[in-house]
Structure 1
């Protein structure tokens, strides 16, 4: 079964994650050491992130999923 990819959504999520990480002064290396999650490909929008992984990322930054998605700007995908 193939996965559906919404590039606009992936990019918006990637930018938000990077913003959270940078604003808190956390490097990719520190984040990986603390969580075991490689953020580099996620932050580049190349990975179709799972909800479970996003929840773990939000937990690390001490926000909930509702806060994460609030204000997220997603462009409409062309069909």
Structure 2
């Protein structure tokens, strides 16, 4: 059960990051050039995210943590 919850959260976070990138109108390559982060792997939920990485991406997309996590279900 815990594994399913973790996977669900990871997929929700990945989808939210993809949504923010698309709203900003930038490609994964542009984000990589600007941040040195491989968001392709992050958006595919292949990598676990650190708080530092999430902070960089939230700053890049112009959202706070509160705005980022709004709507993400943990269960």
Say whether 1:36 aligns with 2:36: yes
What 5-or-longer segments of structure 1 have no aligned partner? none
Q: TM-score, normalised by structure 1?
A: 0.84
Say whether 1:60 aligns with 2:64: no
Higher helix share: 2
Q: Name the SS for the 2:26 alignment partner.
A: coil
Structure with higher Rg: it is 1
Q: How many residues align?
A: 72
Q: 4+ residue runs of structure 1 moved beyond 6 angstroms?
A: none
Q: Distance in 1 between matches of 2:29 and 2:46?
A: 18
Q: Distance in 1 between matches of 2:44 and 2:38?
A: 11
Q: 1:48 is matched with which residue?
A: 48
